[in-house]
Each structure stands twice: as C-alpha cells, then as structure tokens.
Amino acid sequence: MHKPKQSLTTLCYLEQDGCYLMMHRIKKKNDVNHDKWIGVGGHAEDQESPEDCLLREVFEETGLKLTRYRFRGIVTFSLKDVEIQYMCLYTADEWQGTLTKQCKEGDLEWVKKEQIGRLPLWVGDKVFFKLLWEESPFFSLKLSYEGDVLTECVLDGRPLDWRTYLEG
C-alpha cells in the first residue's frame, strides 16, 4: 500500500493597504500548485519550528524580514495518494526590507482582497480566506482533494458544507 509523504509547511499572507501579497505559481516544474495563486511559504527543513520555516521562507521568496505576524490556523491539506501537508497558516502586517523583483517559484503581486476569489485558487483556500476575513479565532481545517477536486472539508473537527459556507 502506498503511503503519501507527510510534511510540515507554512503559508503566509502579507497584508498591506487592503491587499494580500500573492504568488502566481508558474515557474517551478512538477508543481502541485502550478498556475494557482497562493501566499508565500514552503516546507520546513530539518530541526525547524513552524516560525523558523515561516521567517526563512518569506525572506527567501520575498526578500522581506517579518517583524509582526500571527499564527491563524492549521490546515491539513490532503492530496489523495500523493501528499499530506500540515500547513501552518499565518498573516503578517509588518516587515523590513524591499520586496524582491525575482522569485524562483512564481510571480509576486499585491492583490486587493475583494479580487482574490476571482483568481485560480484551490477551492479550500477560499474557505480559509473567509475565516481570515471574518477574524475567526485559531482554527483547524482539513481539506481533502482528489486531483483539483475538493472531496472533504472539516472545520474544527466537524464536516463543513463548503459550498453553503462560501455562499453565506
């Protein structure tokens, strides 16, 4: 029986002037996120805490050093027969440095929050964006996929009808 690989990852949305910094993932080969818009972050390295990973990944991808950030939730991202990621989700609103013009994984762009839903996203990302916008307390969200199709959404241990949730 094939056991999917498991990993700890971070994902961060930098906030400024009603926008989030988004990455259009178009540069990496064999990328499960190819052509999707996501935040910045990545896989934890050996001996890294989630915060170590967050700070390193944000700096590597943006050239920015975070000075204020919030841990908003844990997202279990399950891609059937491929991978399970335990993704620590953060937002940040203060940093130092200058945003890099080049990122090896995709193009960085500030996107107005109200326009994000029109971008090619993972469907489950729309669920956690709504939780972020509503200032929900710390949450645990499980998103299960078969390919690009969301097959299960569980919020804080309870099944969530994500279609109804997103309409409300």
pLDDT at residue 1 is higher than 60: no
Tell me how many domains the chain contains. 1
Cα(139)–Cα(110) distance, rounded to whole angstroms?
Answer: 25
Average pLDDT over residues 99-121: 90
Average pLDDT over residues 133-152: 94
> Between the CA of residue 32 and those of 18, 67, 89, 110, 165, what are the distances in Å?
28, 30, 18, 22, 25
Domain that includes residue 100, residue range: 5-167
- For residue 4, the model assigns a pLDDT of 63
| CATH number, residue 143 | 3.90.79.10
- Predicted model pTM: 0.92
Average pLDDT over residues 95-110: 90
Average pLDDT over residues 45-62: 96
Tokens read off for 60: 């590597």
Closest CA to 13 of 128, 153, 148: 128
Cα(163)–Cα(168) distance, rounded to whole angstroms?
Answer: 9
Return mean pLDDT, the chain: 92
> Between the CA of residue 109 and those of 23, 28, 68, 85, 124, what are the distances in Å?
6, 17, 20, 25, 21
**Which residue in the block uniquely carries the two structure tokens 């690009």?**
148
Using 50, 70 and 90 to split pLDDT, how confident is the model at 81? Answer: confident
